[in-house]
Amino acid sequence: MLIQIPELLSPQALQQCQDLLAHAEWVDGRVTAGTQSAQVKNNWQLPEQSRECQALRPIIAQALNQNALFLSAALPKRIFPPLFNRYEGAHNTFGNHIDNAIRACPVTGQRIRTDLSATVFLSDPDSYEGGELVIEDTYGQHAVKLAAGDMLLYPSSSLHRVEAVTKGARIAAFFWLESLVRETERRRLLFDMDMAILELRSSQGDTAPAVSLTGCYHNLLRMWAEV
């Protein structure tokens, strides 16, 4: 499932990120690519040990922890520390690839299974041309180009690419996460159920059916979650 998280970053948080990135020094993006991905990856990346990267990560983490839609859709168990990339000039594209199934956190060494991938757009879409994130699933191709501060969640098992940026610069944060619920279909069912419960409670209050459905949601989560 593809889930858009609008305004993950507040205007203030987005401005903080953009200010930090304005004078950052970038390196070849292939430093974090797998064997196959390295053959089609041609972009810039912010060094993980840089001052800017260390300052940016807590901003993204705080926004994630405070966003109810993200928490409901992802049911995060472990989150890989966010990375940051830039598409511009001759380093402007990332061809078709599938993300590595397992990632080792460079800080803790802990391995996480990549159930979901996430992109947080940090550039105004009117400031660059091209750069769509194209994701393929059973329903075809989806080209995504979101407002600065918005985030897209999508299965890490999806074939995806970033189209060439032909003008301007596309800057984004990206990361992977391991969900409490491994199966995409089960996560989707829980997410849809949670959204329906919220709508029911908003329109009718905590009625007996709403309480019953909430109990069903948590019992399913209890049955399927890997803690």
| CATH number reported for the structural domain that contains residue 198 in this entry | 4.10.860
Structure tokens that stand for 143 in this block: 């080209």
Let me know: does 125 contact 147? Beta carbons within 8 Å: yes
Given a cut of 90, whether residue 86 has pLDDT beyond it is yes
Range of the domain at 87: 3-179
Given a cut of 90, whether residue 106 has pLDDT beyond it is no
Given a cut of 70, whether residue 36 has pLDDT beyond it is no
Whole-angstrom Cα distance, residue 53 to residue 48? 6
Per-residue model confidence as pLDDT tens digits over 167-179? 999 999 999 999 9
Structure tokens that stand for 215 in this block: 């109990």
> Hey, which residues does 2 pair with through a beta bridge?
none
In percent, how much of the chain has pLDDT > 70?
Answer: 97
Given a cut of 70, whether residue 32 has pLDDT beyond it is no
Looking at residue 219, its pLDDT comes to 98
| CATH number reported for the structural domain that contains residue 103 in this entry | 2.60.120.620
Report the mean per-residue pLDDT for the chain: 95
Q: How many domains does the chain have?
A: 2
Which one has a higher pLDDT value, 108 or 18?
18
Domain boundary among the residues 143, 162, 179 is at 179
Given a cut of 80, whether residue 31 has pLDDT beyond it is no
**pLDDT band, residue 35 (cuts 50/70/90):** low
Shared domain for 31 and 132, answered yes or no, is yes
Given a cut of 70, whether residue 11 has pLDDT beyond it is yes
Shared domain for 148 and 211, answered yes or no, is no
Looking at residue 63, its pLDDT comes to 98
Shared domain for 103 and 65, answered yes or no, is yes
